[in-house]
Structure 1
Amino acid sequence: MKPCILSVLFAISMLLSSTAHSQPCNGINRQLDNERKAVLAPVIANQLQASAVDVLQLFRLGNWSIIHVDTQEADEVFLFYAADPLTSHYTTLWSGAAARNEETQIMNWVITNAPGIPKRLAGCFAWHVTRNRNM
């Protein structure tokens, strides 16, 4: 009986391991330190015509960035940049809530509204806002 239990536990651990490694945001640069936040915040605040912003998260792949910010004046927003946010204006923005079953629709919205965005980054964003918003 013990070999059977061990086999089942091994299979479960392999399944969990492969699921953890296949998350859509694996390989997306999420590094955002306080220094970078401080540099980005006034530039983004100016673009949004807000008095200030809190930079909450960053998703970056290649030249593209998605930056999640809070203006304290309106809903939190995700800004999509095709180039360096310090020297370019955002391409589009997204704000709001998304249901778990809207992942495909969100990805299609991103691809349509942020032309040229890598599909992997669009998929990461869609997964994040529909299934993993708290990370």
Structure 2
Amino acid sequence: MNSIGTAQIGDGYVTLVVFLIAALLFALVPLGLARLWAWRFAPPKPGPVKNGLYECGLESHGDAWRPFKSSYYLYAIVFLVFDVEIVFLLPFAVAFGGLPLGAVLAMMLFLLLVVEGLVWAWSKGVLRWA
């Protein structure tokens, strides 16, 4: 009997199980070593100084709960979305002369969706800074 073609159905899963175990060990061993290192060389020493608030080299004064406009975050997210979408236009612009009609139509659809998103953001007032 020759051994070519006599593979069992479960043989492919052995490799999968080995990779699964290796992946788990790859994640858990450094975490365990870090925990052991922290336990041995950095025992917890709670106190008023260690538990105090500290930021940017200055002690905190006053209340940390200051009102902050969430519209700034929304403005930044819209900027990032459109910035990333516009990056997809660079390959299209570079290869514009040699593209088939289907690629040009797909890019025109993409541009239509980008412009539609921009019009939507504008109509909702997301682009107003103040």
Shorter-chain TM-score: what band? Answer: under 0.3
Decide which structure has the larger Cα Rg and report it: 2
User: Which protein has the bigger helix share?
Assistant: 2
User: Higher RCO, 1 or 2 (CA under 8 Å, sep at least 6)?
Assistant: 2
- TM-score scaled by structure 2? 0.25
